[in-house]
Every structure is written in C-alpha cells, then in structure tokens.
Amino acid sequence: MKKNKIFTQVIILIGIVVVLNLILNQVYLRLDFTADQRYTLSSATKDILEDLDDVITVTAYFSEDLPPQLLSNKQDFQDMLVEYEQRSGGDIVYEFVNPNENEEAEAEAQQKGIGPIMVNVTERDQVKQMRAYMGAVLQQGELTETIPVIQPGAGLEYMLTTAIKKLSVTDKPKVAFLQGHGEPSLAASAQVQEQLSVLYDVEPYTITDTAQIPGFYRAIAIIDPTDTIPASHLQKLDQYLQGGGGIFVTYSNLNGDLSSGYLQATPDIGISGWLTEKGVTLSDQFVVDANCGAVSVRQQSGPFVFNSQVEFPYFPIVNNFSDHAATEGLESVILPFVSAIRIDNPDSSVMVNPIAFSSENTGLVPEPTMVDINREWQESDFTAGPQILAVTMDGPLGGSGNSRMAVVANGRFAVNGEGQQQQQVNPDNVNLATNLIDWLSDDTGLIDLRTKGITSRPIEQVEDGTKTLIKYGNVFFPIILILGVAFVRKQNNSRKRQRWIQGDF
C-alpha cells in the first residue's frame, strides 16, 4: 500500500513537470538583475516589433563547437530571437545555419556578407585557430540587412533592433548637415551618420540666397564651422526655427593646437553672437578638469626613446549629466579644448537646460596660453567647480513659433576626420550627438537602446570606501558563503543525529 502511494506521488510529480514544461514552452520568462537591464527589451524594441507589417526572416550563421568564451554569445542571440519572435506575434522568424558544415554553406554565408573570423581554440594543451562565423542576415521581401559579426556584449539588442528598423521603415524623414562655412564633409562624421541612417535620410545642405531652408528637414546639424556665416544665412536659420525646426550646433570658439602648444580664441565667424542672442554665451576660457583623458608623450631615458601616456586636463572626461532624454545611459564623453557655457537668457519664454557638466575638480584657463604637457598640476588649479559644457533650448528661438536647439561647446567631439585621417570616436561622443539630433527631431525611440550597456566605469572614479568594499568583498564573500553553507549543513546533520539517538526517526 505504501509502495503504491509513493508510486502515485512520483507519477503526479512527473505530470506536474511535464505540464510546466508545456506551459513554459509557450511563455518566455527571463529575470534580469543587471544594472543596465541588458536582458530586458526596451520599449522602443517592443514598439518596433508590434508595428511590423510583414514577416522578417533572420538567418543566423553561427559555427558549431565554438570556444567556451563565445558559446554564450550564440545562446544570448538565440534567446533574444525567441523573445523577438514572441513579441512580434510571429513576424520574426529565425533559423540557425552552421557555415562550417560544408563548403556550400560557407560560400553562401560569405556571399551574403558574413565573413569568417579567426578564434583560438585549445585542444589537448595546444592552441589552434578556427574559422568561426557569428553573423546574421535579415530579409523582408526583396530587402536584406546584414550583421557581419555579432560581437559579445550588451549592444546586441541595439544591433538587432536597428537592423529590423532599417528594413521596416521605408519613408524616412530627412536630416541636413550644413555645408559652405568650412564645416567638415558629411563623410567626416561617419559614425554619427551611420547611427542616424537607421531613422533618417542624412544629406548635406548648403544655404542659398534665393531659397528658404526646406521645412521637411527634421533637424539641421551645424558641425564645427570655421568660415564666416553671413548674416543672411543666420536670418534663414532663424526663419527655419520659426517654422518649428531643430538646430544642433557644435562649435569651438577656442582653438587648441598641440603641435604648436599655443591655445587661443578662434576668429569671430558670427555664430558666437548669434548664440548669445538666444541666451547662450561661450566663454573665452578653456575648461581644465582633473578627470581627464591622456595624450601620448615621447620621452627619452638614456639611449632609449619611448611613448608614455600623460594625463592632460585640457581633455575633460564628462561623467556628470542632467536628467535628459539625450543623456540617458551615457557614461563618459570626452570634450577636448572645450570652453564653458554661460546662460544669460533674456527671454523668459525660452527654456535653456544645461545637460553636461565638468567635474567638481574643474579649473579655467584664459586664452591665449601656452601648453606644457609635462606640467605638474596642483589641486589649486581646479577650484572653479562644475562648468556647463552643453545645453538644450526650447521655445521661440527664431523670434516666434516653438522650436528646439542643442549646443555643445566643442566643434569636433564627434567628427572622425576626412579620408585616410579618419579615427574612431569615443562611442558616447557619437551617442550624445545622435541622441541630441533625435531629441531635436522629437524622435527619441532608439536613445535608450544606443546607450544600453556599460561603456566605461573606471575603478579609479569609485570612492575609496566603495573601492575597498568591492576589493575585499570579492575575496571574502565566496569564503563566507561556503562557510555559511557548511555551518547550516553541520547544524542539520547534528539535529538528525540527535533525533536518531533519541529514537525520533
């Protein structure tokens, strides 16, 4: 009788497990305890998936037998596709293909833009190289979008959602990059252009004397002008603002030249006065910050010559942001040779909001000045307190109507450069520029996706008490946990032994 009861309980337990598995196959649930919620789909992704009008097929090209450090990358991508499929109501369909299976599959992957990467694999105490594939191709009708390499990390959702967005959005609004006043070409802002192209058609635009600025431009970017902007062009920009347009200005009124070591004001091209009329004045002092980037310095020790990294306060690292859609999730923005912004708003109907500040340990250096890279900076050099480095503005900026502007007191903070001189820009610099243009265009859907994931949290910036807690916590917490489990087990075993001795078993 007792055996039958145990058998019945086992059958019931197995039945419960089977039913739970069937339910869980239909319901996707994942708990996310990460600081940046990297495993939780953002509202932007959910909106995009729910608005899909046609099926998108995702073909994931992943090699089998990937090394352990890359296996989780494949699993993360598969888990994300499962959730995308459910959120889209079946409009996202996916399959996994192993390009290493045969030459035909490998040729197909390469033909679709998925190239192999070489990874190290350890076998029998020997390190070998393996041709691995980790990419995906998205297709909707005749349109395709390729993700050549799916890198491990928190940018997975942004990568996949933007690829879906590119396929699903056919009629994109336009954003203009102003030309004709010494601005860098559109190609010189390659990273910003790439991010903007997900939502917008980005094109260069030159103001003419015979035509108004087209109102279909959602925003105009004025990036680092160096030549005089005629008063007639500034008037047309005001007329564009009157129509409800948005203008993004990155401008350096101070010039830092490391090759000559001489820092001075740039010639007046008219834009500083135009900004002052709107309540924003660029100061004639360089901001120096103890929280700063570094420059490479050539040094010699005896017969040896080597390069070393020296902290350079003229390259402030900005970690202090206000609560604003454009700064959501930003970690660190680098603004070389930046000036402070003073808000002196004569029009109370215009709202001017500071959004980025230097650190508490900030100093101001008037121009002109010479740079001494080997200078030993003292605490007394950084007593000016936080300075405003970027602002947004809302209101009748063109004299009437309601419009928006954003100003960053550094012209080239998100510029890659021209031709072969192009360099990669700090990711959060690009995110800030792109987010501000999104905000000006009143389209903030992908802002939280761009900045989702930790980009930089140096341990040096953590307070000493917190740093000590992290340091010793990593050492002693596992030991305390093991000892705690051992103590609990010992107590349980002791109680069982006592009950056995007393015959209570």
- Please report, for the domain that includes residue 358, its CATH number: 3.40.50
Query: Would the pTM of this model clear 0.95, i.e. be above it?
Result: no
Predicted pLDDT of residue 7:
65
Q: Calculate mean pLDDT across residues 297-305.
A: 67
pLDDT band per the 50, 70, 90 thresholds, residue 208: very high
Predicted pLDDT of residue 125:
64
How many Å apart are CA 250 and CA 253, to the nearest integer?
A: 10
User: Which of 228-232, 398-402, 498-502 reaches the highest mean pLDDT?
Assistant: 228-232
CB neighbour list of residue 111: distance below 8 Å, 6 or more residues apart:
none
- The yes-or-no verdict on residue 454 having pLDDT over 60 is no
DSSP one-letter code for 174: E
Q: Which candidate, 375, 411, 160, places its Cα nearest to that of 282?
A: 411
**Residue 19 lies inside a defined structural domain of this protein:** no
**Structural domains counted in the chain:** 3
How many Å apart are CA 387 and CA 402, to the nearest integer?
A: 28
How many Å apart are CA 473 and CA 467, to the nearest integer?
A: 10
Residue 130 belongs to domain with CATH number: 3.40.30.10
Higher pLDDT, 303 or 362: 362
Q: What is the mean pLDDT of the chain?
A: 85
Predicted pLDDT of residue 27:
53
Q: Do 209 and 322 lie in a common domain?
A: yes
Are 131 and 157 within 8 A, CB to CB? no
Are 396 and 403 within 8 A, CB to CB? yes
Are 114 and 61 within 8 A, CB to CB? yes
**Residue 21 lies inside a defined structural domain of this protein:** no
Q: Calculate mean pLDDT across residues 143-152.
A: 87
Which range, of 302-306, 424-428, 496-500, averages the lowest pLDDT? 302-306
Predicted pLDDT of residue 381:
94
* b/e per residue 161-174 (b: at least 16 CB within 10 A): bbbbbbbbeeebee
**Residue 445 lies inside a defined structural domain of this protein:** yes
Q: Do 105 and 250 lie in a common domain?
A: no
Are 224 and 255 within 8 A, CB to CB? no
Please give the full DSSP string across 181-194, using - where no structure is assigned.
Answer: SSPPPGGGGHHHHH
How many Å apart are CA 404 and CA 397, to the nearest integer?
A: 7
